[in-house]
Amino acid sequence: MGARNRVSIGLALCAVLTGGVLVAGCSAAPAETYETPYYTLQLPTDLAASCVIEYDDYARMMNDGSGEIGHTTSVLDRETGAPLFFVVCGPDSFGPDEGDPRSVKLGEPSQLPGANVYVGQLMFGLDGETTDPHAEEYASFVTVR
């Protein structure tokens, strides 16, 4: 399985793990800045007003033993519930293919050695159509801690 598939599957798994419900530390109200122990997400005001942010601090060990994957923030469209993008921590073995326009590796958080922070979006939307790649733009909203 290619790294791109791992990221797409991993991000889909992260979406499933959150179960589409708000989890501890989340708010249904617009939030321009959201901090986790591993990264900070700062959304532009107009985007924050149209989104719901969900954070799930759950992490699981990768099957290959290379590290944890999890600590996921999902940014969802407030009206449709469709995922716009995800921020997730995981080892290099989880990471995207170089040049994948729907995912960006941001770096290693100081509180989670051996992991990296990734920003990604699903390849297909809820309607089955291919999504326009915006990962680079979304990555500009995230600062690794």
Where helices occur in the chain by DSSP H, the ranges are: 3-18, 45-49, 135-139
Does the pTM exceed 0.85?
Answer: no
What does the domain layout of the chain look like in residue ranges?
Answer: 3-144
**Maximum distance among all alpha carbons in the chain?**
40
Could you read off the pLDDT tens digit of each residue along the chain, which spans 145 residues? Answer: 343 333 333 444 343 333 333 333 444 444 589 999 999 999 999 999 999 999 998 888 888 877 888 999 999 999 999 999 999 999 888 877 777 889 999 999 998 888 999 999 988 888 888 888 999 999 999 999 9
Residue 47: phi, psi to the nearest 5?
A: -70, -40
pLDDT at residue 30, rounded to an integer: 46
**Does the CA dihedral 101-59-15-63 come out positive or negative?**
positive
Residue whose tokens read 């986790």 = 36
Q: Could you tell me which residues come within 8 angstroms of residue 25 by beta carbon, excluding any fewer than 6 positions away?
A: 55, 57
Contact between residue 11 and residue 86 where contact means Cβ atoms under 8 Å apart: yes
Q: How far apart are CA 117 and CA 71, in angstroms?
A: 9
